[in-house]
């Protein structure tokens, strides 16, 4: 089915409110999910809501919970998400870090113990809107690992995303690199399974460590494993996320000595920098534009497919989906309706 962003947001908002969120949180979380769908990251869009509702009843996600400032020492800010909606606690921690960065020019902000913070690009967009550069390293814990280390046959890490955000210039929109360190995010396997599609080759292993294209292996017991992108380089970055976001936030890594309650907990290690404290503003803009122009001028490898920079694919999908609507497959829509019923809403109410 095709649904407008407005109607999808209203539907998600109703369910979130009924499931214990206040108005502000329901608005923020539904907006994040719908914008993920608009950006083309359906894996981090409305399809996550049924999981959130299940996690509330399991006690591993706490609605209407804000971020707690644990330590506030000049340019270092440490937050605890208290298992609140990640979209909320991460936005709050980012807001505080952005205000501080305007004073200090540089902030290291850590956030631990947040329920799923969703599409990390959202937080890059927050710093971009404030004219700041940001770098985000994230790990994912509280459930079994999903990603095999390079050279291994089973999962030992998670999809540990990295996001780096560079503000827009007069000529160019922002550069927003926002990526899992696995070849694909796990949610992409869920979306493919829901649609009855096979995955491309080289993305995952089955439970015996053999290559497979069947997304269902990621949702079976014993499960398969996603592969890291870029072989040992992606694996190296995934491990760095585990160390930066797992150890230095205090949130913990995916090693099996830590609790696994079956939720989705993200820890995020974030640097924010005011570029105006580093270089002349006009020179910076000219140089950013010049290098983007130079890169994009490379002759296309495939006829009619121009070179893009990070953030371009999301912008073009957003323009298209805002106009045409968001496509939601039947399995995802039925899961959303079942989640609504589980919190006492009737299907006709939606």
Q: Which residue has the tokens 């996690």?
A: 55
159 binds ligand NAD, rule: CB under 6 A: yes
- Quick one: DSSP state of residue 242? I
Q: Which is nearer to ligand NAD, 14 or 317 (CB)?
A: 317
Q: Which is nearer to ligand NAD, 29 or 345 (CB)?
A: 29
Q: Residue 334: which residues within 8 A CB-CB, separation 6 or more?
A: none
- Quick one: DSSP state of residue 164? E
91 binds ligand NAD, rule: CB under 6 A: no
What is the CA angle 283-287-293, rounded to 5? 145
Q: How many residues bind ligand NAD (CB under 6 A)?
A: 27
Of 11, 55, 172, 266, the residue at the interface with ligand NAD (CB under 6 A) is 266
Of 15, 19, 78, 185, the residue at the interface with ligand NAD (CB under 6 A) is 185
Q: Which is nearer to ligand NAD, 144 or 308 (CB)?
A: 308
136 binds ligand NAD, rule: CB under 6 A: no
Q: Residue 262: which residues within 8 A CB-CB, separation 6 or more?
A: 55, 58, 60, 142, 143
Candidates 10-18, 57-65, 200-208, 308-316; binding stretch for ligand NAD (CB under 6 A): 308-316
Of 119, 167, 194, 215, the residue at the interface with ligand NAD (CB under 6 A) is 119
Q: Which helix (H) or strand (E) holds 110?
A: strand 106-115
Candidates 101-109, 155-163, 238-246, 250-258; binding stretch for ligand NAD (CB under 6 A): 155-163
Closest by alpha carbon to 344, among 15, 12, 64? 15
| 3-class state of residue 298 by DSSP | coil
Q: Are the CB atoms for 226 and 186 separated by under 8 Å?
A: yes
- Please give the residue ranges that form the binding site for ligand NAD (CB under 6 A): 41, 44, 116-121, 138, 140, 159, 161, 163, 176-180, 184-185, 266, 308-311, 313-314
């Amino acid at each position: 089915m095709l649904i407008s962003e407005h109607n999808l947001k209203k539907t998600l908002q109703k369910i979130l409110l009924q499931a214990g969120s206040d108005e502000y949180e329901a608005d923020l979380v539904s907006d994040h999910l719908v914008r993920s769908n608009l950006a083309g990251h359906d894996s981090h869009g409305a399809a996550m809501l049924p999981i959130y509702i299940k996690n509330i009843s399991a006690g591993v996600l706490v609605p209407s919970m804000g971020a707690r400032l644990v330590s506030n020492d000049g340019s270092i800010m440490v937050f605890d998400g208290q298992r609140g909606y990640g979209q909320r606690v991460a936005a709050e921690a980012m807001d505080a870090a952005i205000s501080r960065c305007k004073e200090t020019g540089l902030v290291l902000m850590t956030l631990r113990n947040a329920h799923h913070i969703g599409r990390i690009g959202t937080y890059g967009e927050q710093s971009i809107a404030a004219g700041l550069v940001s770098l985000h390293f994230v790990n994912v814990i509280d459930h079994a690992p999903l990603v095999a280390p390079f050279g291994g046959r089973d999962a030992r890490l998670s999809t540990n995303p990295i996001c780096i955000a560079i503000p827009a210039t007069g000529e160019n929109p922002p550069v927003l690199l926002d990526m899992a360190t696995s070849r694909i995010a796990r949610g992409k396997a869920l979306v493919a399974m829901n649609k009855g599609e096979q995955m491309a080759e080289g993305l995952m292993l089955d439970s015996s460590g053999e290559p497979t294209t069947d997304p269902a292996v990621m949702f079976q017991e014993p499960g398969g494993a996603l592969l890291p992108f870029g072989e040992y380089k992606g694996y190296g970055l995934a491990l760095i996320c585990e160390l930066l976001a797992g150890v230095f936030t205090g949130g913990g890594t995916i090693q099996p000595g830590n609790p696994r309650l079956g939720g989705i907990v993200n820890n995020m290690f974030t640097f924010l920098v005011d570029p105006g404290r580093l270089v002349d503003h006009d020179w910076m803009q000219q140089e950013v534009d010049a290098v983007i122009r130079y890169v994009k001028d490379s002759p296309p490898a495939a006829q009619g497919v121009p070179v893009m920079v990070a953030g371009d694919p999301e912008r073009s999908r957003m323009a298209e989906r805002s106009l045409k609507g968001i496509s939601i497959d039947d399995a995802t829509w039925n899961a959303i309706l079942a989640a609504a019923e589980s919190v006492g809403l009737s299907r006709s109410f939606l």
